[in-house]
C-alpha cells in the first residue's frame, strides 16, 4: 500500500498553485453594481450584466481570491441537477414551472460550454454525462425510482443500465445496476473560475481580492479598506453567508471533502475503462461523487464531517485525516485497481444549505439588494442560470427565467445552536446506520434514512 502522506488543505487540488492575488479595494468608490463574492455566482453575474450593458460600472469584492470557496473546490460536475426538491417545489409553485426549471438547468450545461469556447476558457470540459450506480438491492430500488423520476420530469436521454452495461463504461466493483444521464460535463473547476475572472476583467469589470465585506446594506458594501456605494448590491457568498451580520442562520455551511490520486498509470486505466470521462456517483445515503481528471487522476468526494459547530468553516481546505482514510477506502472498494496508486491531496470546503434545501434567486427593487445561492451542492451549473436570472431581474427584464419557481423563494432560518449541530450530526449518523443496514441485505431503503429525511426536510 502507498505510504506517502497526501498534501492536506491549501484550498484544493484544483489549484496546482495558488493564483497571484489581485489587489484589494483601493479605498471607497462608487459603482452601478457591487457584487460580493468572486465565485461562480458573482463572476457569472458580472459577465452577463456587462455583456447586456457595457456602460455599467461593476465592482466585484472577494475576501481572498477568485474561486477560494466552493467554486474552486467542488467535484467538477457541470450537471443539470436541480438544487432542491422538484416534487415539493411543484406542490408550491406548479408542475409546469418546475419542468421549465429542469429544462433551463439542462440547457445551462451547454450554455457554460458555449461561453467557455467563446471566451477561450480551457476548463477541461468533456460532456460525457453522469453514470449513477447502485451496489446493493436497496440502492438499486432508489436508482430505479430515480430513473422514473427523471422521466416524469421530462429529462431526455436517461438510459437505465444493467450491471454489465454499467461496468462496460467503468469497471467498478460490486455494481448491480446503473443509469446514464447525458446532461453533465466533467470540468476542472479552478480553471473555469480563473477563466471567468480574467474574462470579466477584460470586459471592464473591476475585481478586488483580499477585500472581505464586513457589512452589506442598501446601497453599500463595507470592507476594511473602504466602502463601495452602488444602487445595486448583490450577495453571492454561498457557504460563507453565515459570517455576515444578521445572516448567521440563513444558510448552513455544509462541509464536503475530496481526495485526488496521483496520475493513474496507463496500464491501470486499461483495466478500468472510463474512456467517456463520465462523472460518477452512487445512490448510497452517504454518497460519493467522482471524476477522471484532466491529468488522468481520480478525484472522489463525499460528506465525512458535514458540519462544524456554530457554522465554523475549515482552515483553507484542511480536512481531518480520518476523512482522507474514509474516502480512500471508498475509492478502493469501488476501484480496487488503484489500490497501489498514492493519494496526492485531500481538501474540503463548504456549500450553502437552506433549511428547506431549496436554492433561491431574488432581487428587491426598492432596496437594490439581491442574492442567489443555497445550491445544496448542485451549484456548478445552477450558478450560471442564477446569474442570468439575476441579470434580468436587475435590468428589469421580464423573461422566462424570471418566472422560474426559485425566483423569490424564501426559506425559514435554521435552528439556533446547539440544535442545528445536533440535528445535522444526527442526520448523518442516521444515514451511516442506514447504509450499514442496506449493505447487509435490506431490499428497500432503510426506514432510518426515511425518518432522517423527513426530520431534516432533505430531498429524497
Give CA separation, 11 vs 17, 82, 428, in Å.
Answer: 10, 26, 24
At 234 the three-state DSSP class reads strand
Please tell me the total count of domains within the chain.
1
Whether the per-residue pLDDT at 406 is higher than 80: the answer is: yes
Q: Which domain holds residue 46?
A: 9-78+189-248+358-403
Whether the per-residue pLDDT at 36 is higher than 60: the answer is: yes
pLDDT of residue 425: 83
Check which CATH number belongs to the domain holding 232 and give it.
3.50.50.60
Mean pLDDT, the chain, rounded, equals 94
- The answer to whether the predicted template modeling score (pTM) of the entire model surpasses 0.75 is yes
Residue 458 in any domain: the answer is no
Phi, psi of 280 (to 5 degrees): -135, 130
pLDDT of residue 14: 96
Return the CA Rg of the chain. Answer: 21
pLDDT of residue 3: 57
Q: Residues 89-109: what's their mean pLDDT? A: 98
Whether the per-residue pLDDT at 317 is higher than 70: the answer is: yes
pLDDT of residue 5: 83
% of the chain surpassing 90 pLDDT: 84
Residue 454 in any domain: the answer is no
% of the chain surpassing 70 pLDDT: 98
Look up residue 288 and give its three cell numbers.
460519493
Residue 456 in any domain: the answer is no
Whether the per-residue pLDDT at 160 is higher than 70: the answer is: yes
Residue 323 in any domain: the answer is no
Q: State the Cα–Cα distance between residues 249 and 141, nearest whole angstrom.
A: 35
> Residue 281: which residues within 8 A CB-CB, separation 6 or more?
130, 131, 132, 133, 287, 288, 289, 290
Whether the per-residue pLDDT at 212 is higher than 60: the answer is: yes
Dihedral over Cα of 78, 376, 329, 435: its sign: negative
pLDDT of residue 434: 79
95-109, 175-189, 207-221, 309-323: lowest mean pLDDT where?
309-323
pLDDT of residue 342: 97
Give CA separation, 279 vs 167, 228, 322, in Å.
Answer: 14, 40, 25
Residue 130 in any domain: the answer is no
Cis peptide before 418 (omega within 30 of 0): yes
Whether the per-residue pLDDT at 1 is higher than 70: the answer is: no
70-79, 409-418, 440-449: lowest mean pLDDT where?
440-449
Burial class (CB in 10 A: 0-12, 13-18, 19+), 52: middle
Phi, psi of 364 (to 5 degrees): -100, 105
Instruction: Give me the long-range contacts of 309-312 (CB less than 8 A, separation at least 24).
Output: 309/417, 309/418, 309/421, 310/417, 310/421, 311/242, 311/243, 311/248, 311/252, 311/253
Whether the per-residue pLDDT at 20 is higher than 90: the answer is: no
Q: Could you report the per-residue pLDDT of 53-98, keeping only the tens digit for each?
A: 999 999 999 999 999 999 999 999 999 999 999 999 999 999 999 9
pLDDT of residue 456: 66
Residue 287 in any domain: the answer is no
Report the DSSP beta bridge partners of residue 216: 221
pLDDT of residue 313: 84
pLDDT of residue 21: 80
Residue 366 in any domain: the answer is yes
Q: State the Cα–Cα distance between residues 179 and 368, nearest whole angstrom.
A: 44
Q: Could you report the per-residue pLDDT of 374-390, keeping only the tens digit for each?
A: 999 999 999 999 999 99
pLDDT of residue 423: 86
Residue 411 in any domain: the answer is no
pLDDT of residue 460: 59
Whether the per-residue pLDDT at 264 is higher than 70: the answer is: yes
Q: State the Cα–Cα distance between residues 112 and 127, nearest whole angstrom.
A: 11
pLDDT of residue 73: 96
Q: Residues 212-228: what's their mean pLDDT? A: 97
pLDDT of residue 447: 84
Amino acid at each position: 500500500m502507498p505510504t506517502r502522506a497526501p498534501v492536506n488543505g491549501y484550498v484544493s487540488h484544483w489549484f496546482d498553485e495558488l493564483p497571484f492575488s489581485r489587489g484589494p479595494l483601493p479605498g471607497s468608490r462608487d459603482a452601478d453594481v457591487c457584487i460580493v463574492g468572486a465565485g461562480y455566482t458573482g463572476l457569472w453575474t458580472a459577465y452577463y450584466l456587462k455583456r447586456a450593458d457595457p456602460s455599467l460600472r461593476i465592482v466585484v469584492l472577494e475576501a481572498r481570491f477568485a474561486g477560494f470557496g466552493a467554486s474552486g473546490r467542488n467535484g467538477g460536475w457541470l450537471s443539470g441537477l436541480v438544487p432542491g426538491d422538484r416534487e415539493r417545489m411543484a406542490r408550491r409553485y406548479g408542475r409546469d414551472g418546475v419542468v421549465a426549471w429542469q429544462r433551463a438547468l439542462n440547457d445551462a450545461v451547454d450554455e457554460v460550454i458555449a461561453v467557455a469556447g467563446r471566451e477561450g476558457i480551457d476548463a477541461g470540459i468533456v460532456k460525457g454525462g453522469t453514470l449513477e450506480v447502485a451496489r446493493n438491492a436497496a440502492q438499486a430500488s432508489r436508482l430505479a425510482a430515480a430513473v422514473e423520476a427523471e422521466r416524469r420530469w421530462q429529462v431526455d436521454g436517461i438510459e437505465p443500465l444493467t450491471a454489465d452495461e454499467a461496468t462496460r463504461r467503468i469497471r467498478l466493483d460490486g455494481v448491480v445496476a446503473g443509469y446514464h444521464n447525458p446532461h453533465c460535463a466533467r470540468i476542472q473547476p479552478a480553471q473555469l473560475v480563473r477563466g471567468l475572472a480574467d474574462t470579466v476583467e477584460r470586459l471592464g469589470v473591476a475585481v478586488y481580492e483580499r477585500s472581505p465585506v464586513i457589512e452589506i446594506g442598501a446601497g453599500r458594501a463595507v470592507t476594511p479598506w473602504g466602502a463601495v456605494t452602488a444602487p445595486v448590491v448583490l450577495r453571492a457568498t454561498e457557504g460563507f453567508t453565515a459570517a455576515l451580520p444578521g445572516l448567521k442562520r440563513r444558510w448552513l455551511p455544509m462541509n464536503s471533502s475530496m481526495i485526488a490520486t496521483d496520475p493513474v498509470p496507463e496500464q491501470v486505466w486499461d483495466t478500468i475503462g472510463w474512456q467517456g470521462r463520465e462523472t460518477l456517483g452512487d445512490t448510497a445515503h452517504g454518497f460519493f461523487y467522482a471524476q477522471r481528471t484532466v491529468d488522468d487522476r481520480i478525484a472522489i468526494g463525499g460528506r465525512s464531517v458535514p458540519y462544524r459547530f456554530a457554522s465554523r468553516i475549515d482552515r483553507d481546505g484542511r480536512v481531518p485525516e480520518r476523512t482522507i482514510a474514509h474516502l480512500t477506502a471508498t475509492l478502493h472498494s469501488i476501484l480496487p485497481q488503484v489500490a497501489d496508486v498514492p493519494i496526492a491531496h485531500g481538501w474540503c470546503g463548504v456549500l450553502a444549505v437552506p433549511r428547506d434545501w431549496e436554492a433561491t434567486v431574488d432581487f428587491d427593487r426598492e432596496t437594490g439588494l439581491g442574492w442567489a445561492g443555497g445550491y445544496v451542492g448542485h451549484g456548478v451549473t445552477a450558478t450560471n442560470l442564477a446569474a442570468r436570472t439575476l441579470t434580468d431581474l436587475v435590468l428589469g427584464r421580464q423573461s422566462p427565467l424570471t418566472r422560474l419557481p426559485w425566483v423569490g423563494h424564501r426559506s425559514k432560518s435554521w435552528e439556533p445552536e446547539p440544535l442545528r449541530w445536533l440535528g445535522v450530526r444526527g442526520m448523518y449518523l442516521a444515514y451511516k446506520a442506514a447504509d450499514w443496514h442496506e449493505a447487509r441485505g435490506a431490499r428497500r431503503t432503510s426506514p432510518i434514512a426515511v425518518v432522517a429525511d423527513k426530520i431534516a426536510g432533505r430531498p429524497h
